[in-house]
Amino acid sequence: MSRKADSVENTQEEVQKAPYLDQTLRPAGWEEYIGQQSIKENLRILLSAAKERNQPAEHILFYGPPGLGKTTLAHLIARELGGQMRQTSGPAIEKVGDLAAILTNLNPGDLLFIDEIHRLNKTIEEVLYPAMESGVLDIVIGKGPSARTIQLELPPFTLVAATTRIALLSAPLRSRFSGGTFRLDFYTEEEIKKILERSAKILGVETDHEGLRAIAKRSRFTPRTANYLLKRARDFAQMEKRPLSRDTVERALSLLEVDVLGLTPTDRKILETLIKKFGGGPIGLNTVAAAIAEEQATVADVHEPYLLQIGLIERTPRGRRATKAAYEHLKQQPPGLF
């Protein structure tokens, strides 16, 4: 069924749904979740076995670049386990009391999702250990010689955590994800195209094979980016009152300064800095980040993984180096992006 979510004849109901499009595009069942085959198979066994034993599933850690579907997997696991998903993030848990409040408010069988777990502070991490291992919360009451510890028993729960920076996780924390640690990989172009076909149908966007392929090629093999570009190209097509053909997509994404490889102005600035200011490297990405006035974490999480994936930069013991392909790509870019 195709909904005319874009047309000016939108029903009131569709207009009201519009702000929640990201939620609308999120797969609601395993059959709708495309790709990451090996993770899905492992999770199927882990979850079925736990359900059969009538126990909560063991704690799971997902890592990988942003936008590949870590949160979506957590939602699907919660659904499978039949509990509620409670969502928080490392930086949002500022005090031990914040974590205590979250944990003691869980219902048996709930899933606690902690995003960006690498940003959890050390003291809180240590409170999390016994909660993960033995389902208890050790709380210190008072200070100095009169301080005492009380132990609260927690409802059985599953912790699913996600990080873009596995290397920043302490070894003790990593070792407590007894259900497994799974790395999400970039998707293939074919998988992205299937995701886009599904999204276009949900959004009621009229498109063709070539239009979707043009988006898939520029999607950085990342579903979140693919869906973002689809929506921007849809806006463009709508304003021009044209279908979402390859030509419309190329012009829409050119306006966004996304090039044929899906590189954004910041990606190109990174390459340009590496090549023009530092003779191609090798150089630490922190130096590049400083040179382009960008957050180091953003360069490391968002830009570097894709540039490495498509072979425009490479890792050496002394830092990152631009490859021949990076020189070629930059030469081909200005003045037009396509």
Other beta carbons less than 10 A from residue 9's beta carbon:
7
Regarding 35 and contact with ligand ADE (CB under 6 A), the answer is: yes
Stretch that binds ligand ADE, among 26-34, 46-54, 132-140, 205-213 (CB under 6 A): 26-34
Contact between residue 285 and residue 296 where contact means Cβ atoms under 8 Å apart: yes
Please indicate whether residue 143 is annotated as part of the active site: no
C-alpha span between 279 and 321 (Å, rounded): 9
What dihedral angle (degrees, nearest 10) is formed by the CA atoms of 243, 246, 248, 249?
A: 110
Stretch that binds ligand ADE, among 30-38, 167-175, 245-253, 286-294 (CB under 6 A): 30-38
Q: Is 151 helix (H, G, I), strand (E, B) or coil?
A: strand
Regarding 203 and contact with ligand ADE (CB under 6 A), the answer is: no
Catalytic residue among 72, 158, 164, 207: 164
Catalytic residue among 224, 268, 320, 321: 224
Output the smallest distance, CB 42 to ligand ADE, in A. 15
Please indicate whether residue 273 is annotated as part of the active site: no
**Cβ-based nearer residue to ligand ADE, 159 or 200:** 200
Task: Out of 10, 27, 40, 325, point to the residue binding ligand ADE (CB under 6 A).
Answer: 27
Q: Is 138 helix (H, G, I), strand (E, B) or coil?
A: strand
Please indicate whether residue 71 is annotated as part of the active site: yes
Output the smallest distance, CB 27 to ligand ADE, in A. 5
Match 């997509």 to its residue by tokens: 249
The DSSP bridge partners found for residue 85 are 111
Contact between residue 29 and residue 73 where contact means Cβ atoms under 8 Å apart: no
Peptide bond into 65 cis (omega under 30): no
Stretch that binds ligand ADE, among 31-39, 77-85, 244-252, 306-314 (CB under 6 A): 31-39
Regarding 77 and contact with ligand ADE (CB under 6 A), the answer is: no
Per-residue x/- mask for ligand ADE, residues 50 to 69, rule CB under 6 A? -------------------x
C-alpha span between 266 and 268 (Å, rounded): 5
**Cβ-based nearer residue to ligand ADE, 126 or 197:** 197
Stretch that binds ligand ADE, among 25-33, 42-50, 237-245, 311-319 (CB under 6 A): 25-33
C-alpha span between 55 and 45 (Å, rounded): 14
Contact between residue 313 and residue 235 where contact means Cβ atoms under 8 Å apart: no
Q: In this structure, what token pair is assigned to residue 40?
A: 């899905």
Task: Out of 64, 66, 179, 223, point to the residue binding ligand ADE (CB under 6 A).
Answer: 223
DSSP structure string for 308-330: HHTTSEEEETTEEEE-HHHHHHH
**Cβ-based nearer residue to ligand ADE, 70 or 303:** 70
Regarding 72 and contact with ligand ADE (CB under 6 A), the answer is: yes
DSSP letter (8 states) at residue 207:
B
Catalytic residue among 70, 176, 217, 220: 70
Contact between residue 183 and residue 64 where contact means Cβ atoms under 8 Å apart: yes
C-alpha span between 325 and 82 (Å, rounded): 48
Regarding 195 and contact with ligand ADE (CB under 6 A), the answer is: yes
| Number of residues located near ligand ADE, criterion CB under 6 A | 9
Q: Active-site residues: which are they? A: 70-71, 115, 164, 224
Q: Which residues bind ligand ADE (CB under 6 A)?
A: 27, 32-35, 69, 72, 195, 223
